[in-house]
Amino acid sequence: MYRAFVNRDATFEGIFYVGVRTTGIFCRPTCVAKRPARENVEFFSTPGEALQNGYRPCLRCHPLEWNGRAPELVERLRAEVERAPGGRLTDKELAAMSVDPSTARRQFKRYYGMTFQAYHRARRLGSALREVRMGKPLQQVRNGSGFESQSGFREAFGKIFGTAPANAKTRAPLFAERIDTPLGAMIAVADDEGLRFLEFINSRATERELLILRRRLQTNVVPGEHPYLDAARRQLADYFSGKKLEFDISLAPVGTPFQLRAWKILQSIPAGETRSYSWMARRLGDANARRAVGRANGTNRICIIIPCHRVIRADGALCGYGGGLWRKKWLLEHERRCKRG
């Protein structure tokens, strides 16, 4: 993706968007602006993901616009948001600006794929997230992020982490942390038993799998530090740099006896090699269990470290990876390249 970005490859238009950490702006792959260094960019599959991670749209390449320049009303409202991204613009306030709220919703939906209020909310929460990452106190960020009350903050907290802040203190939680990688941001979750969860944040199953994990362990997920999270971050850095492809970290996956057996077999596949679903089925003692193997691999919640990406079809075709087949292809090529080098 970075190579396509440097080359301004138009065939990648709509495939990914580029966030520039040093400016807080996100762009199309073909933006004419000067190219930043690789370590200063991250990639997103949709404009909404970039917004929610605290980036604002580039004024040169207009990454939110699909059909040419946005209408004057949309430009005006977006400028209002950028003047105070942590504020709020209610329907009443829009009406006071001689803007019909329903027209604003329709035009934003048509041009940006989201309503005006959804866009404003994404910018507000994204700005708050960016400030937290910069080290600002959580209370200060909350007060400046557009939440009108403590109860509103608690509700938002609960939607993300599964419990109110006060309840998080009453029982042993799972600790979660974001880990940035060359393939996108990941979320890692651990407790004193070991690493419980590792998945790409934008994977289609991440939210659902986190909910299942919380329910099975009857606890909540809160942001925080833990030695197993530190170990996961260090070892993932070694993996992606090619320094060391093997992992040595305590794992505590949650699953059925069959799933746990399947995930153990996955860990026996050496880096740089692949196996088939039929091979796994035979190792599990039932040559006809290929579909069950596929389901077990699909519910693996500790990706890369429990390497379900190393399982392919018997004819060599790639299939079935929650993080996206492009990531599966990259991981396999990365491991083979490191093994050869």
- What is the greatest pairwise CA distance in the chain? 70
Sort 124 into a burial class: Cβ within 10 Å, 0-12 / 13-18 / 19+.
buried
Distance between the two ends of the chain, CA-based, in angstroms?
23
Q: How far apart are CA 71 and CA 190, in angstroms?
A: 47
Q: How far apart are CA 270 and CA 250, in angstroms?
A: 18
Catalytic residue among 27, 303, 308, 319: 308
Residue with tokens 């907290």: 157
- Quick one: angle between helices 290-298 and 257-266, nearest 10? 80
CB-CB contact of 49 with 122 (8 Å) = no
CA nearest to 157, candidates 133, 217, 167, 48: 167
Q: DSSP readout, 57-119? A: E-TTT-TT-SSSSPPHHHHHHHHHHHH-TTS---HHHHHHTT--HHHHHHHHHHHHSS-HHHH
Annotation marks residue 303 as catalytic: no
CB-CB contact of 68 with 61 (8 Å) = no
CB-CB contact of 198 with 301 (8 Å) = yes
Catalytically annotated residues:
308
